[in-house]
Amino acid sequence: MKRTERSTNDWQAADSAHHLHPFTDFKSLAAKGTRVIVRGDNIYVWDSEGQRLLDAMSGLWCVNVGYGQQALIDAATEQLKRLPFYNSFFQTTTPPAIELSELLAEVTPPQFKHVFFSGSGSEGNDTIVRMVRRYWDVLGQPGRQVIISRRNAYHGSTMAGASLGGMQGMHAQGGLPIPDIVHIEQPCWFTHGQAMSRDDFGLKAAKWLEDKIIEIGADKVAAFIGEPVQGAGGVVVPPDTYWPEIQRICDEHGILLVSDEVICGFGRTGRWFGCETFGYRPDLMTFAKGVTSGYIPLGGVMVGERVAKVLIDQGGEFHHGYTYSGHPVACAVAIANIRLIQREGLVERVRTELGPYLARQFESLAEHPLVGEAQTCGMMGALQLVRNKASGEVFDPLLEAGMVCRGHCFGNGLVMRAVGDRMIVAPPLVMTTAQIDEMVALIRQCLDLTLADVKRRGWL
């Protein structure tokens, strides 16, 4: 049967018969039927029923330049014709992999001159684990094995990625975390810090790292890893005091600082990388998603000179790599994507125009009776739904109020993500302010519908 002739029911039947979706209760999805997205343009996608949705999640935090960018399509097409694949093992490589390495050294902070490519963010974080442990081995300190991460962090779904992440549900399946990965609490003021000012809480949350290092012994700690803003954990924007203090602690104890920039990289926070927005200087950075705006899979690790020098000068062979490390088509798309971001000045636009505009709009949403906290950082935003605005009391998590809201969003042409009861947006960086208005009007409408709905259900 030709693709265009299939009905939604037919797509759904074939999907539930053969396709196991990520992070999904297979049985309940099969009963409901999946939504089939068939087309995208600019900031909108269309489903198989012809409904248009404003994609306030940029696909999955990745389509930063929006859908349908001809420069990326042309770059892929030309590279597919010229050389669809060659590897970077065995003393070979390809021009796109070389040119992208050069370009990444140009757009990343000055300590980064080298890149190790992977196919995804999860694989990038596997590389991080191998690389930081190798670094300390080469330096003659093999006892430095422990990597400290945070609860509610998301670093991917491979064994190492899920271990680094702080998601209890993931750890419960498959005997995770792997050895020598430990977690401290996240810097979430709404959950852990409301008794004090944001700035004081930032210092307190950073101190949890220092306490953990002292508990384990600094001579056993290899690295600390964190997302500048926790994305999948609910767009948790840390207080301004947090990251500079984390930097000071890592410096003082000599441990490597790793910034997972898979979501925050390539302009989302209003600088090229989140670490620049929050004022710290990582030794390693993971990237993926926005490097190609999701048009094709690509990830990797930026390796700062501190680590690169040791691995290059003293490390010998690093026994690690992926078939698709430096995939020429993915690299060609990444080059076109980064050039487009530069040409259109998107990073600057997020910092000076779109980010501040979104922040103002979210301040107005904060007045809604269901919203207990509204936060933004660049082109990311979160609204914490609460049962009682005055006291900040949250809904019983079992009620899944966030999912009720998400249902109203989908029903009204808006893709918004629910993390528990935090409603989240991370829209494309090519939005106009008029499109931000359109998105915010939809959000307000969906909050109103959710309010009426939870009242009807007797949850208030």
Asked if 193 and 204 touch (Cβ cutoff 8 Å), the reply is: yes
Of 66, 96, 121, 378, the one binding ligand PXG (CB under 6 A) is 121
Asked if 287 and 61 touch (Cβ cutoff 8 Å), the reply is: no
Of 36, 37, 60, 449, the one binding ligand PXG (CB under 6 A) is 60
- 109, 110, 116, 119 alpha-carbon torsion, rounded to 10°: 20
Alpha helices in 145-253 (DSSP H): 159-164, 168-171, 189-192, 198-216, 242-253
Asked if 256 and 283 touch (Cβ cutoff 8 Å), the reply is: yes
Site track 131-160 with ligand PXG (rule: CB under 6 A), x = hit: -----------------------xxx----
Q: Hey, which residues between 181 and 240 contact ligand PXG (CB under 6 A)?
A: 227, 231-232
At closest approach, how far in Å is the CB of 448 from ligand PXG? 25
**Does residue 290 interact with ligand PXG by CB under 6 A?**
no
At closest approach, how far in Å is the CB of 264 from ligand PXG? 8
At closest approach, how far in Å is the CB of 61 from ligand PXG? 6
Contacting residues for 409 by C-beta, under 8 A, at least 6 apart: 415, 416, 423, 442, 443, 446
Q: Which residue is nearest to ligand PXG (CB)?
A: 121
The SS3 of residue 331 is: helix
Of 79, 122, 127, 163, the one binding ligand PXG (CB under 6 A) is 122
Which pair of structure tokens corresponds to residue 92?
Answer: 């070979």
Of 288, 371, 377, 447, the one binding ligand PXG (CB under 6 A) is 288
At closest approach, how far in Å is the CB of 162 from ligand PXG? 10
Strands 371-376 and 37-41: unpaired
At closest approach, how far in Å is the CB of 171 from ligand PXG? 16
At closest approach, how far in Å is the CB of 293 from ligand PXG? 13
Alpha helices in 26-139 (DSSP H): 26-32, 58-61, 70-82, 95-107, 121-138
Contacts with ligand PXG by CB under 6 A: the residue count is 18
Give 409 or 454: the residue with its C-beta nearer to ligand PXG: 409
Cα(122)–Cα(118) distance, rounded to whole angstroms?
Answer: 9
Residues binding ligand PXG (CB under 6 A): 60, 120-122, 125, 154-156, 161, 227, 231-232, 260, 262-263, 288, 299, 417
